[in-house]
Each structure stands twice: as C-alpha cells, then as structure tokens.
Structure 1
Amino acid sequence: MRTSRYRWVILGVATFTQAAAAFFVQGIGAMSVHLRRDLELNTTQLGLLQSAAQLLPLAGLLVAGRLLDRHDERWVVGIGALVVAVALAAGSAVPGYVSLLVVLLVAGAGYSTVQPGGSKSVASWFDASQRGLAMGIRQAGLPLGGVLAACALPSLATAYGWRSTLAAGALVALSGAVAFMAFYHRPPDRRPVATTSRVRPALLREPYMKKIILSGASMVSVHSGVGVLTVLYLHEVTAMDPASAALVYVAVQCAGALGRVCLAAWSDRHGAGRYACVLTCLAAVIIGMAVLTTPVGRSPVAACLLFVWLGFFGIGWYGPWVAYAAESAPPDHTGFALGLAMAVNQVSVVLAPPVLGLLTDLTGSFAPAWALLAALTAAAMTLTARL
C-alpha cells in the first residue's frame, strides 16, 4: 500500500522537475517583446534563441536514452537538471545575444536527460490502466513551467532587466534537481536491466515508430510556433498590449497543461487506442491554424480563443503521444526508444522557430507561418492514418 501511494509522490516530483528545468526556455516566448527591444532582435533571431536550447538534445537525447537503460534515473535526471541550473546562473552575467545563445546551448544539453528520464520514471511506476493519465500529468509540467514563466519573467525583465530572468531560471532549475535526487527511487520490484545490445536504429523502420516520429515532428513544430509567435501576433496583428498578450500566453499554456492531462486520461479509455487520440489532436490543429490565416484571426477575441484551442490540442497532444511511445517500445529499450523519438523530433524543434520567424520577416505576415504548420500537420495525419 505504501508503494502504491508513493507512486503519486514520484509523479509529483517528476512533474515538478520537468516544470523547473523547462521554466526559463518556456518563458522566452512570453518575453519576446522585451528581448526583441532590449537586444534589438528581429523575429528570426528571436526564433534562434528558442532553437539554441534544443540543438544539443539532437544527440543528447540518444545518449540520455542509453544512460537511462543502464543507470538509475535519479542521477541521470538530477544531474541533467543541475547542468541547466549552472548554465542559467552563468548566463545571468553574459554580455549580449551571442553569449546568451551559448548559455542556452549548454542548458539544452542538461535538459536532454529530463524529458526521457522523467517519462521513463513515471512509466515504470504506473501500470497500463493509469499510465496515460500519469504520463499526461507529468508532461503537463512543460506547459506549467511556461505558465509560471509567463506570469513571472516579463515583470522581472521590466523591473530588473532580462539578465535577472536567467538568475530566476537557475534557482528554479536547481530546486527541481534537488527535489528529484532527494525523492526519486526505482520501484521495489524493478532493478536495472542489464542490456548489452547495440543501439538499434532498426527501430526507425517499425510502423509504430514511424507514427511516433511523423506525428511528433509536425506537432512539436506547432508547439514551437505557438510558443515563439503568439505574443508577437497578438501585439502586432490584433493591437493587443504586451502585458495583455502575455496573459493570453499564460492561458494558452494552461490550456496545454489541461490538454496533456485530459487527452492522456482519455487515451486510457479510448476503444481505438492511444494513437486515435493523437490523430484527433492533429485534426484539431489543422482547423485552428487554417482559421488563423483568415480575417477571423485578426479579431482579438477570436485570436485569443484560437490560441487557447491550439494550446489544448497543439500542446496537449504530448500526453497520449508519449504514453503510446513508451508502451510500443521493447521493454529493455524503453529509454532508448523514447530518446530516439524525441531526438528525431528535435530536428523540428530546432528548425521550426527560426524558419517560422524568417518566413514572417520575409513576408511581413504571420499567415504563411500558420499555413505551413497546417500543411505539415495535414501531411502527418494523412501518412500516419494509413500505417
């Protein structure tokens, strides 16, 4: 009974660590007006800031996956979150834009262990009947970190300058690292799996992995686009002031957190399986992005409602998706399979913000960016529905 109760402690700690490690990077979108003004950035450069934190995980997620299959999640995740804290603390003294990019690169390397490690730790404590709900709650840590960051960082940047936000991010990430190392341990009935097999890129040929990668790549692009462009769109297209636009961004992140929990819980009971829930999210995103490209999207009220819709489905998709990925992987390669899927997704995470920013700068409009995301999502839905 104590073990049954303690799994909820594990879930709470894993969720908190996820939110703490992602806190600063998830707040970049909310600070977009401040950063662009103080550092004299264009939209493309702003997108590169978002990408910098995601570049090293291209390889780091694969390394983290192998480490997680061989070592205790407590130390792999805890040390990774600690690296994020140290990098952000150093970043509070950086002189400008280029140095900030370097700091975010290092923070991204540390964060590589937090995402797959937290997912594996929760999957190991919960059986299939509640795994979707648990994964959804844990994955809600990412948008919850965004909510807290959107509430705190713009005000902090206004009062004390943008460097102070990195110091705050360092303290939050440190608290996540300490909490995970203090409270996490493996389930009593599970011991480290001795695996001597080589890294298995053959997993990429499996039908389930193709579904995971195609849907994930399109939806992380949507998540990145919503993160980096929402506040700017509301400010420049609907004439909303930066403070109000940041509050809408808070609502978008809250909707994403709610979506991750509700959609994952729904996937526990969906007769057609977890991936049917992912397909529903793909369809909902296509609708939302398409409407944003029309004159309806220029209305402040309509735009706010559309972004909340995109938050629920365009961020919430991750709950059922990661549960599907964890359950589809071979038992002795769960960490590597999660790391592999997330590493391939990182290509989109890295490319999407600067590409969408450049497209916006070149055309002088946000509509082409929304149209591109809608087209990518439609392609992923069509291809994966046939697998």
Structure 2
Amino acid sequence: MVQPVTASRRRWLVLALGLLAQAASCAFLYGIPFLVPVLQEAEGLSLAAAGAVVAAPSIGLLLTLIVWGAAADRYGERLIMALGLGTSGLLLSYAAWTEVSLPVLFGVFLLAGAATASVNAASGRVVMGWFSASERGTAMGLRQTAQPIGVGIAALALPPLAQAYGWRAALLFPGLLAIVVAVLVAALVTDPPRPEPVAGDGGKPPSPYRAPALWRLHGASALLVVPQFAVSAFAPVYLVAVRDWSPLAAGWFLAAVQALGALARIGTGYWSDRVGSRLRPMRQLAVASAAVMLLVAAGDATAPWLAVIALVLAAVISVSDNGLGFTASAELAGHAWAGRAMGAQNTGQNIAAAATPPLLGLVIGDSRYALAFCVAALFPLLAIWLTPVRAERD
C-alpha cells in the first residue's frame, strides 16, 4: 500500500490542479470529434479520413501511457504533467497556425495525444501521494470527474468557435488551454513526499507484477469498461432509432445522465473511504452492472419505459467503478510503481473501450439490441470473479 501522508491544506490545491490538467487533456482528446463537420466541409475530407484524424490522439495516448507512468515514478509528477501537457498544447497550436496536409495533421494529433497521456498517470499519482487512505477514494473520485468536465468544455466551446472562425481557430482553444494549465502546474504543484523504497533485487523496489493481484485488477477493470461503452456508444442511436426520440431530446437526456455519473464517481470514492476498501465496492458494482444490463435487455424486449429507466441506471453504475480500480492499482503497486500501474490500468481500459463499439455493433446488426445488452452483461459477471478482493488484506 502507498504510505500515509501528513494532511496538508495544499493537497486541495494539488487536487484542483490535477483535475484541471486532466480536464484540459480531455477537452482535446474528446473534443476533436466536435470539429469533424467543419473539418470535412473546409478540407473536403471523407468520413473515413476524418475518422482517422479523430482516432489519432487516442492511438498516441494508448502507446505511451505506461511510459509516462514510469517517468512520473522516476522524475516526479509536476515535471511530467507540465512537460506533457505543455508539449501537447504547443503541437495543437502549431496545427492551428500552420497550413498542414492531412498526413501531417494526423501525425501532429498522434504526437499531441502521446504527449497529453502524461497527465493520466501523473495527475492520479500526485493526488494519491497527497491524500491519506481515509480520504483518497473521495479525492480520486473528484479527479475522475475531469473527463465529463473536459468533454463539457469542448462541447460548449469548439462548435461555436469552428462555425464562426473555422476549425483551425477552434483548435487553438484546447491548445492554449493546455499551455495555460501546464504553466499553472509547473508554478503551483508540489510533488508529494516520497517514502523510502523497500529495496529488492539489485537495490530496486521489487515489481508488484510478480504476484497476480494487479494483473487480475487490470483485467477486471477492462471488463467493466464494456458495459460503460455499450451504453455511451449505443444509447443515443437506440433512443432515436428504436424509441423514436428526437436527436436533441436524446442528447439532453444523456448529458444529464453524464452529470449523474460524475456524481456517482465521487460517491463511490467516499463509500470506499468509509468501508476501508476499494475492491469490495468494485466487486459489488460489478454485480450491479451485470444486473442492470440484463434489465436494459429485458426492457427492450418488454417495456420501453423500463428500458429507459434501466439505461439511466446502467449509465450511472457502469462509470462508478472507474476511480476505484484506478486507486486500487496505485495502492496495490506501492509508491515506486504507482505511475506504471495506473498507466497499465488506463491502457487496458482504453483497449476495451476501443473494442466494445465495433464488436457489439456486429451483435446488434439491424435491431438486436436486447441480445447485445445481454452480451455486455457477461463482462461484469467475469469481473466479479476476477476482482482480487483478498489482495487488499494481504
């Protein structure tokens, strides 16, 4: 376990800056799709070409999460966050100011995604280091709200900027935001105290991956991502195509559900602090996630009102475990390996997130939503067994 730290008022400033850094990263990573309509019109891109550009940041992120986590373990959180976020902002600003070809734009977005991956592990690691075990779950739950906040910022800022001034001007917004936040991180974040490492072979801390607990935790967390992305990817089209909602109504409905999901992440973090465990609540949420996905399937087959209520529950429950798995990864890994463990945790989740929509899309076909939701329920059922609850007591 990560050693307890002495309470300090500064920890709340560090948490705020870590959350802000992650939100700035998400505003870029998940904001590029908002530019696709204007980008297609201005550059004459096909949907496939635009899709490749949108995918580039996530590819870069996926390739470098563990590397950045290792760098944070070795060099400290402040430097790694500021360096990666600042580099990402400069790359985006370059793409906004310079006329570049599509391959160059893909490459810039790939590098910017690779750079901004530094924030994922480093911001989590700095929060872990400043908060004691009794409040760490709540702090990490707050930090996990950065994704919906970042997406909300992008949704509010990028479309109107792109419509008024073009996609390049809109791209300046996440670029400049990243640079400003990087400066704030460099100026105001303080790395937490580092406990003396327990030396292993060769004078270095032993790898926690010699035991199965972390491997099982990463696997369980990846499995629990499947229902989350089953809902986020297919709920909009389900409500519009099957339940005859308007796109606007479906959008507002799902935006409100996202807000509930953000609150749920904080609530589950607080819950884990009170019970003194991350993995027991995580396993209980896996049970709830499987049950509610089956409820969505039952509602689709029998009663539309039940399907809508179940979708709300599924959207909230399926995101509630994210902070628990992330926190537990660092705690089980120990301070010297926390960054790498959180990077590995994010890598597995991102792979599962990328694979879920196309695979479930094949199951759905024309209209087999109930079957797809039943398939999605199988993954949290496996996670119930895989979650290494006993490892917290070892």
* TM-score for both structures, normalised by structure 1: 0.81
Matched, 1:167 2:133: no
Query: Which shows bigger deviation, 151-160 or 231-240?
Result: 151-160
Q: Are residues 206 and 9 of structure 1, via their aligned partners in 2, closer, same or farther at CA, if it must alter by over 3 Å?
A: same
Q: Which residue of 1 aligns with 2:241?
A: 236
Q: Are residues 332 and 24 of structure 1, via their aligned partners in 2, closer, same or farther at CA, if it must alter by over 3 Å?
A: closer
Report how far residue 269 of structure 1 moved.
Answer: 1.1
Query: Which shows bigger deviation, 250-259 or 173-182?
Result: 173-182
Matched, 1:265 2:301: no
3-state SS of the aligned residue for 2:243? Answer: coil
* 8 A contact 2:326–2:345 mirrored in 1: no
Report how far residue 3 of structure 1 moved.
Answer: 7.1
* 8 A contact 1:293–1:367 mirrored in 2: yes
Q: Which residue of 2 aligns with 1:219?
A: 224
3-state SS of the aligned residue for 2:281? Answer: helix
1:329 is matched with which residue: 329, 333, 344? 333
3-state SS of the aligned residue for 2:320? Answer: coil
User: 1:146 & 1:239 partners in 2: Cα distance?
Assistant: 26
Q: Are residues 317 and 33 of structure 1, via their aligned partners in 2, closer, same or farther at CA, if it must alter by over 3 Å?
A: farther
* 8 A contact 1:292–1:303 mirrored in 2: yes
Letter in 2 for 1:5: R
User: 2:298 & 2:208 partners in 1: Cα distance?
Assistant: 41
For residues 12-61 of structure 1, what are the alpha-carbon distances to aligned partners after superposition, in whole Å with 9 as ceiling and x for unaligned? 111111111112333467x599589966648x986x77754333334412
For residues 147-181 of structure 1, what are the alpha-carbon distances to aligned partners after superposition, in whole Å with 9 as ceiling and x for unaligned? 33344445556666666653333233333323222
1:142 is matched with which residue: 123, 147, 157? 147
User: 2:93 & 2:176 partners in 1: Cα distance?
Assistant: 8
User: 1:32 & 1:368 partners in 2: Cα distance?
Assistant: 33
Q: Which residue of 2 aligns with 1:128?
A: 133
Q: Which residue of 2 aligns with 1:252?
A: 257
Identity %: 30
Q: Which residue of 2 aligns with 1:375?
A: 378
Report how far residue 265 of structure 1 moved.
Answer: 0.7
Report how far residue 133 of structure 1 moved.
Answer: 1.0
2:11 is matched with which residue: 7, 18, 24? 7
Matched, 1:289 2:288: no
Q: Considering only aligned residues, what root-mean-square deviation do their CA atoms show, in Å?
A: 3.8
Q: Which residue of 1 aligns with 2:191?
A: 186
User: 2:305 & 2:40 partners in 1: Cα distance?
Assistant: 26
* 8 A contact 1:135–1:319 mirrored in 2: yes
Query: Which shows bigger deviation, 9-18 or 289-298?
Result: 289-298
User: 2:367 & 2:47 partners in 1: Cα distance?
Assistant: 15
Query: Which shows bigger deviation, 292-301 or 377-386?
Result: 292-301
* 8 A contact 1:32–1:232 mirrored in 2: no
Letter in 2 for 1:143: P
Report how far residue 258 of structure 1 moved.
Answer: 0.8
Q: Are residues 322 and 334 of structure 1, via their aligned partners in 2, closer, same or farther at CA, if it must alter by over 3 Å?
A: same
Q: Which residue of 1 aligns with 2:111?
A: 106
Matched, 1:67 2:53: no
User: 1:293 & 1:101 partners in 2: Cα distance?
Assistant: 39
Q: Rg: which structure is higher?
A: 2
Alignment gaps of 5+ in structure 2: 1-5
Task: Within 5 Å, give how 1:16-55 maps onto structure 2.
Answer: 16-27=20-31, 31=34, 41=47, 52-55=56-59
3-state SS of the aligned residue for 1:56? Answer: helix
Q: How many residues align?
A: 379
* 8 A contact 1:234–1:303 mirrored in 2: no
User: 1:298 & 1:165 partners in 2: Cα distance?
Assistant: 45
3-state SS of the aligned residue for 2:191? Answer: coil
Q: Are residues 379 and 175 of structure 1, via their aligned partners in 2, closer, same or farther at CA, if it must alter by over 3 Å?
A: same
